[in-house]
Amino acid sequence: MIVSIDDLRQRARRRLPRTVFDYVEGAADDGFTVDANRRSFDRYLFRARTLVDVSKVDHSTSLLGEKLATPIVLGPTGLAGLLAPRGEELAAKAAASRGAIFTLSTMSIGTIEEVAAVAPAPLWFQLYVWKDRGVTRALVERAKAAGYRALCLTVDVPVMGNREQDRRNGFTLPPRIHFSNVMDVLRHLGWVLRMSSSPRATFGNFVDHPSLTRTDAVGIARFTNSQFDASVTWEDVEWLRSIWSGPLVLKGITCAEDARKAVSLGVEALVVSNHGGRQLDFLPGAIDVLPEVVDAVDGRAEVVLDGGIRRGSDVVKAIAMGARACMVGRPFLYGLAANGQAGVELALDILCAEMDRTLALLGRPRLAELDRTALRVDAPASLEPTRSSARRETSTVTLRVGGTLDT
């Protein structure tokens, strides 16, 4: 019986070959940041109010002027189509059915146009600034023509992070069967049969690009790898601002200095994110830097939290600390691997039910009523080895309403 996101994770683990599941779980270096994203939520405890009418609970919100039934954005995840045939399309339709936003990754298997054709929900398109700015401009123009509402620029990948498990597994695109993984693949013939109906197993947005010298999956992968640009600066943000007329979102902001710079350039929303722990290791948990960014923008841009969300109560904590919404990646991927579109819908239903229950028990029946007075702060997360650790001593840290975290 599936009643939690972790249950979906276990189902996904059983249904996917280890190489593919490890790609989803992938962490940079020692995995400190991945763990910190989860551990950090343990610091923030609720201050519950009682004798409040909670007969009607409302977790609806708005983001960049768009009314949403839930404060959840499905984040950009490369190669979601490896988990289920036409995975990006299924996830986008699931988001539409639940009043959430779906963000298509540049590195998706489904194309910009294919996803837009099936998803009536608000769509965002995630972008990298490539070495060939003509490639970047073409992607922006395609997203604009297809009706994507916002452009989400990922800014924390000047170079690729070191994901050692993918290297040990020999992860490639398309996935290859070799001596070290043949038995694992044979144990997952259901996945093999499902994926045999997939139209492609490569980066779909580049299939017809004129610069390709090889149009097979290996050639496309080599082309995209060659396009990552370590020289991208704030000038490129200004350039994107000049060619994209819709809302611009920067994903990968983790400090006040960058937040203030972004809003000075007219960026409408910031995603506080450490890339799910897949890039630089030994960053703090995303929730721990959220107040710094919220205070830095001071209402001049909307803030979204990305990193470590596994419970609806995590979403409530982030909203109380000033986030407008939360972006999730692995939770919806678990659902997609577990049961396609229905699995993604179930993941969203689980998070929303947990949000409603938390709001009711907290005595704050509407998201709009949340602020930092709804939280206490416990001991520093970095001192705790695991989320399931034993009872901890409480420090004298307090949470100042409308300000930063003070000791």
Q: Is the residue at 375 inside a domain?
A: no
Return the SS3 of 73: strand
Place of tokens 């923030």: 44
Q: Is the residue at 38 inside a domain?
A: yes
CATH at residue 316: 3.20.20.70
Q: Is the residue at 400 inside a domain?
A: no
Q: Is the residue at 381 inside a domain?
A: no
Spell out the residues 6+ positions from residue 231 whose beta carbon is closer than 8 angstroms to its own. none
pTM for this prediction: 0.90
Query: Tens of pLDDT along 152-207?
Result: 999 999 999 999 988 888 887 666 666 567 777 778 888 888 888 777 778 889 88
Q: Is the residue at 178 inside a domain?
A: yes
Concerning whether 188 is annotated as a catalytic residue, the answer is no
Query: Tens of pLDDT along 350-364?
Result: 999 999 999 999 999
What is the b/e burial string over 195-228, where b = at least 16 CB atoms within 10 angstroms of the residue's CB? beebeebbbbbbeebeeeeeeebeebbebbeebe
In the chain, the amino acid numbered 63 is L
**Residue range of the domain that includes 201:** 5-370
Do residues 249 and 258 lie in contact, with contact meaning Cβ atoms separated by under 8 Å? no
Q: Is the residue at 18 inside a domain?
A: yes
**Number of folded domains in the chain?**
1
Query: Tens of pLDDT along 342-396?
Result: 999 999 999 999 999 999 999 999 999 999 999 998 855 544 444 433 333 333 3
Q: Is the residue at 40 inside a domain?
A: yes
Side-chain half-sphere CA neighbours of 256 within 13 A: 8
What is the b/e burial string over 291-325, where b = at least 16 CB atoms within 10 angstroms of the residue's CB? bbbbbbbeeebbbbbbbbbbbbbbbbbbbbbbbbb
Q: Is the residue at 385 inside a domain?
A: no
Do residues 73 and 304 lie in contact, with contact meaning Cβ atoms separated by under 8 Å? yes
- The distance of Cα 127 from the centroid of its chain, to the nearest Å, equals 14
The two structure tokens encoding residue 34? 């991945």
Strands (DSSP E) along 161-228, which ranges? Answer: none
Do residues 216 and 235 lie in contact, with contact meaning Cβ atoms separated by under 8 Å? no
